[in-house]
Every structure is written in C-alpha cells, then in structure tokens.
C-alpha cells in the first residue's frame, strides 16, 4: 500500500472512530432524554393527581359543610366526629390571676404560666417553656408519658419566685391542652378516642385523660387542679376571641391539623336537649379525619396511608399537615429515582420513611439562591444524593411546590366549608338559596396557629390565594385569618381561669 493508501485508511479509521464516539454520545443523549421524559411523565402525573381547580375546591367546601351536618346529626354519622367541648362560654377579659397550662400534642411539649390582668387582652405576662417530646415516650406507657409531663411542670413551678405564689387557700389551677380526639364528659374531663400524629400508647385509648394527669401530679405532690381539658384548636379559639370578639373559628395547621368553631346548640341534633346559658357551644371538628371523594388523591397518598400506623384514618390530615408533607415529597423522589438514574446510584436513604421532614422540604421549596444551594445541601446531607445538576434541583423545588400548594388549597377549602356551615361564606348558609349580593357579610375572624401556616411563607400565600379564589374578593376581604402565638396553651390557661372554682361571673355568652 502506498503512502496515500495508508493516509486514506487512517482517515477512514478516524472517521469510523468519530462516528462511533458520536454514536455513543448521541445514544447517551437519546437515552438520557428518554429518562428525563419518563421523569417528566411522573411529574405530570403528580400535577394532575394534585390538581385543585376552583371548581374542585368548591366541591370540597360543600362536602365539608355536608359532613359537618352529618356529624352533628348523629354519633358516627360522619367521619367528622364533631365533638362537644362543653365550652359554652369564652373568656371575656375579666379573668384575673395566675393560671397554668400544659400543652401536649405536637412535636414539642410546653409548660406555661399566664398572668391575667382582669381586662380584655390584658395578659400581663406569660412564661413559656418548650421541650421536644422524647420519641420513645410517644409509644411507651401512659405512666411514663404523664410522669414526664408532671415532672416538667414540677420543675417549672419550683423555679417560680415567691412573688407569684398563690395565696395559701388557693389551689393552683391548670388548663390541659391535649391535642388528640377526646370524647369530653365535661369541660375538664374526657376519654381518649384514638391517638394521631405518631403517638401510639394503646392502653391509654378509652381512658380518662384528666385522671391520668391528676394521678401523676398527685404522685409528685403537686397541688394543682385541672380546671379545663381542651383541644389545641379550642385554646386557640379562646385566645383569638379574647383578643377579637369576631373570632368564630380556629384552625391548627402544624404537625397535625384540625379546626373548631362556635355552633348553636340547637344545630347539635345528636345531643337533643343540650342546654347552655349561651345557646352555643364550641365544637371540635377533628377535621383531620375528613374524607370526600372530591379530594385529589395520588398513589403516593394511598401508599403513605397504607404504610401508616393508622390506615384509613386522618385522610385530610395526611394530605395537609406537617407530619406528612415531607414524606409525600420523599415518595415522589423515590419513584423518580426508580424510573431513571437522574439522582445517580440509588440512595438507601430515600426508602426511609419520614427521613425528609417537612421543615427541610420547606427549606428546599423556599431556596431562592440562584444555584439552589440549600436544595443541594439537603439532598446531599439528608438523602445522601450528591452532585445533583441544577436542572434536577429545580425539579425537586417543583415537586415541593405541587405538594404544598395542594395542601394549602385544601386547608383553605376546609375553612370555607366551616364558613359555609355557619352562614359566613357570603352565600347565606348551606340551604338558604339567597344570592351572594343579598348578603351583608359580617367581619369574620378565624384564629390560626401551627408551624406550617406561621413559618412556611409559600404555604401561607397559597392558602390566602385559594381563600380568595373560592370566596371572591368581595367576600374574602371580610374574612380575617388572625395568627395567635401559643394560643393553644395560653387559651387553655384562659379557659382554666373562666372555669376556675374561684371565679365569679367571668364568662360571656357566645
């Protein structure tokens, strides 16, 4: 072969090699495009599954109002328990003195002392001590749990100076916020129906809650009377109403979610003959257990529910509250990582339930750095997924957005459902048939609390947006969401004061 021939062969060789390389590159690109398409398919499916159009939200509103009626009509008539609270009067402002509260029900446990000045909105001081609940106590024995609570209260009381000691004849009084479904037998006693939010002490179900606490207090020689046993929503309503008399309902969106509101006693049909001096009573809806076929449910929700310790229970809560949102996102990421290798080699962390807690998810969602460095950090540190390209980090933000937006909009629909039931949604009530323009909308305040609402800006914005979407600007401007701080606990202290054995006429009709 001549020189030319060699050159020609070499040229052909180079061309073939180039073709092979190009082929490999193109093949890789095609493959990765196909994988990305699959991932986009998963995202689209998620978006469709989580869709909350205004018409769907209105169906949820109607379903909520209908279920409220059903739950008030008969015991077990609805998944909404619509529990009586025996709070038929809310604090007026005339409450005076020092009262205590214990607040149990979320990730943190609180002990409070509140000094009331005898005038509306005159809380002279409130001391709050918070501590996380040791996880082993959530599934241990009731004796251990109540002993922990009593010991925290004892230490708190022992730290007090002499100045705040009550006069010798007066026993200290306490409001106990116990944020689980309780069948109340009086304003200060009740039986635990079931646990939620990861608590599971089976022997406690069906037991008297106040007695368990009182036993633990007595054992430690703490001379205190439990004057009020309240749900966190009820405490929040009490504080909300103390500050603003137009407060008609309270909502918690934190680890769990729930709402309570003021109802007329004649509407509580399941308790015929229920008489209160005020003609009304606060009803604890336990809306976390609300269910309707109109709720937008995905395969991730179904799996989360099936693998939870309380399947078929707390369906609304599992779509909305802080205990679950992070885990829904984790499940979506896991599915995407199974469909493709966009997250690199499979991380075993992704299969660990509840490893992606909602505050971390919120931090990723709200990462506004150009390179999404917080997303990268959390993926690396928590899920052990390193070196994720920007495009994939953006995808993570999008997943968080879809899950949170659905949650916030459903919570808004729940709130409007309550307003509809009590005729404050501008439609004149569930069966009035009056047109919106006929109704003069009254100022309506809903007290609201919980980390998801107060610390997660995008969640809060989506909730507000949905309220306006559903109600329309004209009506929505009369609905005020008022954030209370430590309302669940301070409100319990207020209710202890208004139900104190020493108080005279400190209550006001609803």
Is 242 strand, coil or helix? helix
Write out 51-94 in H/E/C secondary structure.
CCCHHHHHHHHHHHHHHHHHHHHCCCCCCCCCEECCCCEEECCC
Q: Is 19 exposed, middle or buried (0-12, 13-18, 19+ CB in 10 A)?
A: exposed
What gap in Å lies between CA 332 and CA 46, rounded to an integer? Answer: 8
* The only residue of 257, 347, 498, 506 in contact with ligand BGC, by rule CB under 6 A: 257
Give residues 88-107 in contact with ligand BGC (rule: CB under 6 A).
105-106
Q: Is 306 exposed, middle or buried (0-12, 13-18, 19+ CB in 10 A)?
A: exposed
What gap in Å lies between CA 293 and CA 406, rounded to an integer? Answer: 15
Report the nearest approach of ligand BGC to the CB of residue 488 (Å).
8
Distance from chain centroid for Cα 160:
33
Task: Calculate ∠ Cα 84-85-91, nearest 5°.
Answer: 140
Sorted by sequence, the CB contacts under 8 Å of residue 188 that are 6+ apart come out as 210, 226, 227, 228, 229, 499
**Is 103 annotated as catalytic?**
no
Q: Does 486 bind ligand BGC (CB under 6 A)?
A: no
Catalytic residue among 179, 188, 212, 321: 179
What is the phi-psi region of residue 433: left when phi exceeds 0, alpha when psi lies from -120 to 50, beta otherwise?
left
* The only residue of 214, 236, 247, 258 in contact with ligand BGC, by rule CB under 6 A: 258
Q: Which stretch binds ligand BGC (CB under 6 A): 55-63, 166-174, 248-256, 501-509?
A: 248-256
Q: Of 105 and 426, which has the nearer Cβ to ligand BGC?
A: 105
* The only residue of 177, 231, 236, 265 in contact with ligand BGC, by rule CB under 6 A: 231
**Is 232 annotated as catalytic?**
yes
Catalytic residue among 232, 301, 469, 486: 232
Write out 20-33 in H/E/C secondary structure.
HHHHHHHHHHHHHH
Which of the 8 DSSP states describes residue 370? Answer: T
Q: Of 91 and 254, which has the nearer Cβ to ligand BGC?
A: 254
Give residues 113-152 in contact with ligand BGC (rule: CB under 6 A).
none
**Is 321 annotated as catalytic?**
no
Report the nearest approach of ligand BGC to the CB of residue 281 (Å).
17
Report the nearest approach of ligand BGC to the CB of residue 309 (Å).
13
The binding track of 173-212 with respect to ligand BGC, each residue x by CB under 6 A or -, is ------xxx--------------xx---------------
The binding track of 294-323 with respect to ligand BGC, each residue x by CB under 6 A or -, is -----------------------x------
Give residues 425-464 in contact with ligand BGC (rule: CB under 6 A).
none
Q: Is 458 exposed, middle or buried (0-12, 13-18, 19+ CB in 10 A)?
A: middle
State the catalytic residues. 110, 179, 232
Q: Could you list the residues that contact ligand BGC (CB under 6 A)?
A: 105-106, 179-181, 196-197, 231-233, 252, 254, 256-258, 286, 288, 317
């Amino acid at each position: 072969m001549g020189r030319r021939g060699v050159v020609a062969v070499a040229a052909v060789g180079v061309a073939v090699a180039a073709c092979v390389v190009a082929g490999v590159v193109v093949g890789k690109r095609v493959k990765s495009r196909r994988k990305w398409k699959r991932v986009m398919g998963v995202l689209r499916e998620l978006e469709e599954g989580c869709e909350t159009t205004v018409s769907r939200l209105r169906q949820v509103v109607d379903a909520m109002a209908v279920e409220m009626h059903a739950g008030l009509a008969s015991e077990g008539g609805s998944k909404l328990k619509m529990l009586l609270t025996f709070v038929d009067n809310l604090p007026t402002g005339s409450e005076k003195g020092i009262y205590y509260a214990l607040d149990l029900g979320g990730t943190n446990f609180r002990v409070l002392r509140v000094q009331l000045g005898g005038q509306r909105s005159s809380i002279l001081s409130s001391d709050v001590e918070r501590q996380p609940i040791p996880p082993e106590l959530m599934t241990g024995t009731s004796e251990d749990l109540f002993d922990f609570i009593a010991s925290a209260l004892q230490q708190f009381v022992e730290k007090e100076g002499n100045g705040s000691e009550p006069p010798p004849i007066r026993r200290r009084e306490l409001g106990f916020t116990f944020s689980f479904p309780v069948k109340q037998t009086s304003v200060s006693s009740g039986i635990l129906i079931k646990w939620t939010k990861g608590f599971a002490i089976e022997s406690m179900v069906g037991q008297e809650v106040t007695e368990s606490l009182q036993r633990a207090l007595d054992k430690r020689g703490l001379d205190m009377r439990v004057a009020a046993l309240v749900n966190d929503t009820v405490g929040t309503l009490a504080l909300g109403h103390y500050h603003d008399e137009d407060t008609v309902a309270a909502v918690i969106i934190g680890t769990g979610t729930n709402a309570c509101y003021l109802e007329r006693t004649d509407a509580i049909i399941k308790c015929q003959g229920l008489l209160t001096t005020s003609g009304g009573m606060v009803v604890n809806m336990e809306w976390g257990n609300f269910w309707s076929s109109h709720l937008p449910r995905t395969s991730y929700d179904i799996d989360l529910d099936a693998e939870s310790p309380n399947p078929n229970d707390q369906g609304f809560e599992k779509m909305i509250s802080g205990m679950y949102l992070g885990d829904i996102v984790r499940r979506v990421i896991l599915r995407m990582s199974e469909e493709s290798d966009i997250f690199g080699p499979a991380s075993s962390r992704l299969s660990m339930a509840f490893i992606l807690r909602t505050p971390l998810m919120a931090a990723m969602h709200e990462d506004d750095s150009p390179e999404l460095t917080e997303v990268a950090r959390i993926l690396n540190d928590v899920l052990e997924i390193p070196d994720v390209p920007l495009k994939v980090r953006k995808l993570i933000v999008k997943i968080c957005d879809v899950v949170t937006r659905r949650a916030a909009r459903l919570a808004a629909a729940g709130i409007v459902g309550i307003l509809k039931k009590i005729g404050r949604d501008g439609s004149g009530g569930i069966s009035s048939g009056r047109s919106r323009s006929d109704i003069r909308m009254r100022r309506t305040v809903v007290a609201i609390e919980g980390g998801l609402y107060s610390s997660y800006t995008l969640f809060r914005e989506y909730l507000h947006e949905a309220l306006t979407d559903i109600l329309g600007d004209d009506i929505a401007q009369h609905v005020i969401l008022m954030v209370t701080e430590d309302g669940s606990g301070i409100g319990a202290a207020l209710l202890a004061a208004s139900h104190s054995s020493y108080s005279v006429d400190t209550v006001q009709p609803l």
